[in-house]
Amino acid sequence: MKKYNLFGFAVILFFILFSQTLYAQSIFDALLGKNDMSAKDKLRVKYIEGDSDVPEEILLINISGVIQEENDDGMPMRPSKNIIEELKKDLEVLTKRNSVKGALIEINSPGGEVTCSDIMFHLIKKANKETGKPIVAIIGSMGASGAYYVACGANKIYAHPTSIIGSIGVIMQSINIERLSQMIGVKPVVLKSERTPMKDILSPYRELTEQERESLLLIVNNIYDRFINIVSESRELPKEDVIKLADGRIYTADKAKETALIDEIGYREDAFKKTCELAGIEKAALVKRIVKKGLGEFLGELAEINSGLPSLKNELKMLLETSGSPQIMLR
């Protein structure tokens, strides 16, 4: 029994020392400048699947989780990611790497922030227009609201047979704890100028006035109208038809295809094949971007690494951000 215990301990010790050696090597390389990113480093890719013998490539891009500029997956000892900057880096490979003939974007998201979704949509449309290279989106488990907004930037939209799609709409919400705060003896203190009566709009400690409700609905409806226009133009559908579909409900892949919200139902290989077809090539290697981090980026990520309580941090951050400010979401 002792032999087995010693063997197990030796194996664990080996992996700990091995991982620490790699970590130390990364720091050493960064300090010596070996990891400084050149233009060539930024365009490096790794093979995923497909035909590895042909020079043509299709770039795989992944968009997952809540669409917000700082996307923290809640895992300890892992840096948060800026979803917009990651997309920019991917699209840079699409734009500058000559062997890449198109992009396949895998999307699995419930939606998220309005502006973040709009920026990502814009970046995809811009890359497609400037390069002339086809971009195909395929929705995974979910492509709802802001995620569908982003998918509309692609030339074609695929979905898995079991995907959930749609939820086209805009939401702004808050809670009202006025009566609860009175019951437990909590009294908010609010100081605001007489000329800014709406400064504490959506405060959880009082009811909305009718004027405040109208002003917020005006914002929500304006963003909703933009969403409708995006879907109408991208899917080449009459606005009237989109409005009938855009009541916030979600759709199965079959229903989404029937209503022209997506083009086809299939799997990664089907969307990959379609991307090759649009690019005018028969075969290609599906590849993904990889980069070596320079010293600045390495140290920056090191500083942003989560502690052991990332979920608590996120909850507190969300509570503080939403307690007194209107948050408009595509979810």
Look up residue 305 and give its two tokens. Answer: 């690494």
Give me the pLDDT at residue 42, please.
Answer: 72
Q: Is 77 exposed, middle or buried (0-12, 13-18, 19+ CB in 10 A)?
A: exposed
Strands 45-50 and 57-64: unpaired
CATH number 3.90.226.10 given to 33-330? yes
- State the Cα torsion 41-97-282-284 to the nearest 10°: 10
Q: Tokens 């951000």 label which residue?
A: 321
Asked about 199 being catalytic, the answer comes back as yes
User: Using CA atoms, how far apart are residues 310 and 259, in angstroms rounded to an integer?
Assistant: 41
Give me the pLDDT at residue 295, please.
Answer: 52
Q: Is 98 exposed, middle or buried (0-12, 13-18, 19+ CB in 10 A)?
A: exposed
Helix (H, G, I), strand (E, B) or coil at 77: coil
Residue 61: CB atoms within 10 Å: 21
Give me the pLDDT at residue 103, please.
Answer: 97
Give me the pLDDT at residue 77, please.
Answer: 45
Asked about 255 being catalytic, the answer comes back as no
Give me the pLDDT at residue 315, please.
Answer: 52
Q: Give the residue ranges of DSSP H helices in the chain.
A: 2-32, 39-42, 83-96, 114-131, 146-151, 178-183, 210-235, 239-245, 253-258, 268-279, 295-304, 310-322
Look up residue 265 and give its two tokens. Answer: 């139902």
- Cβ(84)–Cβ(150) under 8 Å? no
- CA of 114: how far to CAs of 6, 45, 208, 330, in Å? 56, 31, 23, 6
Given the residues 34, 46, 192, 199, the one annotated as active site = 199
Q: Specify the pTM.
A: 0.79
Given the residues 145, 163, 167, 232, the one annotated as active site = 145
Average pLDDT by stretches of 10, the chain with 331 residues: 57 55 51 53 85 93 90 50 92 95 96 95 97 97 96 97 96 90 90 91 91 94 97 96 96 97 97 96 94 56 50 53 61 67
Helix axes 210-235, 114-131, angle to 10 degrees: 20
